[in-house]
Amino acid sequence: MFDAKTTCIVVVGAQWGDEGKGKLVDVLAERADLVVRYQGGANAGHTVVIGEKQFILRQIPSGILHSGVTCLIGNGVVLEPENLFSELDSLHERGIDTTGRLFISDRAHLVLPYHKLLDAASEKSQQLGTTGRGIGPAYEDKYGRRGIRVVDLRRIECARMLLTERVRRANQLLQLMESTERANLDEHVAMLERLAPRLLPLAADAGLLLHRAVKANRRVLLEGAQGALLDVDHGTYPYVTSSNTTAGGAAVGAGIGPTAIDGGLGIVKAYTTSVGNGPLPTEAEAPHGERLRRLGGEFGAVTGRPRRCGWFDATVVRYATRVNGLTGLAVTKLDVLDTFAEIPIGTMYRLSGELCEEMPAEVEALGRVQPVYEVLSGWQQPTGETRKLADLPRQARAYLDRLEMLSGVPVRYVSVGTRRDQIIET
Ligand code: GDP
């Protein structure tokens, strides 16, 4: 992906999240100088497998697993400090030295325990299928201009005053939502006082660091979390996350201008999954869905929730290609389809009897669409050891060609297993 003219690339999920971005970013980070997270929070959960070790990274960019890479957590992220430190500790325990390689934007907002209480209370009434980690309420506070940011910890007195007001407000809301839980101010203050000395040395003007790196032609990966269909503007609203997961969000959330970004790689599974309660037009019938789930290990990295599984939905990926301005696709988990005799692809929808090639804005309409399927022959042989496109079975190449044609963007990578080396560059 990187070349003399393409030095800053955004990597985004182009379905409903969990596409395997962690693995792709891990592979690409080998050639990068900086890896940046720009939105979301500890609800992300990238899984990276190196040798026998599996790393689940929720907030720290997966680039951290490469010793030469500097990682930034951008202003667009909502940071859960306790989780960050447990993630850092577990990396250190496993021999990954992060010293001097991780910086956090001083403009990033904090997710605090009262956000989690509010999340749990509102999930009870709204049933959106959130991860309950306080991400939504933290973004609500950010846009309500009552958030607490990393920079506020530099003046702990000021942070204490802000907390007094915020905890009081949270408790009023909890009462309104008929929750019996209450946030404890002293516990919040003690927590921030304990965490500040560890957090502040990592705090930096991340946008400035990134700007300088881009100017110096350093290779930058902007690592998205979740996927296009979970974007708060472009996703299946209201079954979405609270941030802009699409490429436009990368500029805002990393603190650089959009013209600094040279390319966009969309990660898609060779099939479709979704966790949460929204519509999933190409959801597979029971035995096939169950089989995809079992073969693909489709259970949430953070929550352990079983994911809903179905066939590749080209309408979704075409849409994601457009709203992200993608310049390439990485197709992951091709190996999961190795044993299927026939593989349907949803090419477009039928809505109220009419053919429909674009994503409807209304979630209710998306719930009613009938996918139009094209059924391709499976290859019924293992692909996990293939390293060249030409060595893939003919039917697998035909499948990828069809995905590429329907999505309107070239396939640049194909992932055929969880390991770092199980990747084909086209
Ligand atoms: P992310 O949030 O987009 O990084 O996705 P997750 O980490 O939730 O899910 C990806 C899962 O798929 C992880 O368990 C990966 O190890 C695994 N994975 C990634 N690529 C492949 C692949 O090509 N084949 C198989 N079988 N598993 C893969």
DSSP 267-310: EEESSEEE-SSS--TTBPPHHHHHHHHHHHT-B-TTT-PBPEEE
With H, G, I as helix, E, B as strand and everything else as coil, classify residue 243.
coil
Mutation probe of ligand 1 site: the residue of 308, 332, 383, 423 with most atoms within 8 A of C-beta: 332
Spatial distance between the Cα atoms of 118 and 121, rounded to a whole number of angstroms: 5
Rounded to two decimals, what is the model's pTM? 0.95
Ligand 1 centre to CA of 86 (Å) is 22
Mean pLDDT is lowest, of 123-127, 326-330, 385-389, for 123-127
Catalytic residue among 26, 33, 46, 66: 46
46 labelled catalytic: yes
Which pLDDT belongs to residue 258? 96
pLDDT (mean) for 72-100? 94
Ligand 1 centre to CA of 165 (Å) is 42
Q: Where does ligand 1 bind, in terms of residues with CB under 6 Å?
A: 13, 18-23, 45-47, 49, 297, 301, 332-333, 335-336, 415-418
Q: Which atom of ligand 1 is nearest to the CA of 13?
A: 3
Ligand 1 centre to CA of 33 (Å) is 23
Which pLDDT belongs to residue 318? 98
What does the pLDDT look like over 8-49, one tens digit per residue? Answer: 999 999 999 999 998 899 899 999 999 999 999 998 777 777
Ligand 1 centre to CA of 19 (Å) is 6
231 labelled catalytic: no
Mutation probe of ligand 1 site: the residue of 333, 336, 337, 423 with most atoms within 8 A of C-beta: 333
Mean pLDDT is lowest, of 107-116, 153-162, 378-387, for 153-162
With H, G, I as helix, E, B as strand and everything else as coil, classify residue 396.
helix
Residue 62 confidence class, pLDDT cut points 50, 70, 90:
confident
Residues facing 374 on adjacent strands: 345
Q: What is the 3-state secondary structure (H, E, C) of 336-368?
A: HHCCCCEEEEEEEEEECCEEECCCCCCHHHHHH
Ligand 1 centre to CA of 142 (Å) is 31
What does the pLDDT look like over 189-244, one tens digit per residue? Answer: 999 999 999 999 999 999 999 999 999 999 999 999 999 999 999 999 999 999 99
For helices 135-143 and 113-126, what crossing angle results, to 10°? 100
Q: Which atom of ligand 1 is nearest to the CA of 49?
A: 16
Q: Which atom of ligand 1 is nearest to the CA of 267?
A: 3
Spatial distance between the Cα atoms of 336 and 307, rounded to a whole number of angstroms: 15
Extract the tokens encoding 69: 């890479």
Spatial distance between the Cα atoms of 190 and 236, rounded to a whole number of angstroms: 39
How far CA 168 is from CA of 141, 162, 195, 298, in Å, comes to 14, 10, 21, 40
Q: Which atom of ligand 1 is nearest to the CA of 23?
A: 19
CA angle, corner 357, sides to 313 and 362, nearest 5? Answer: 85
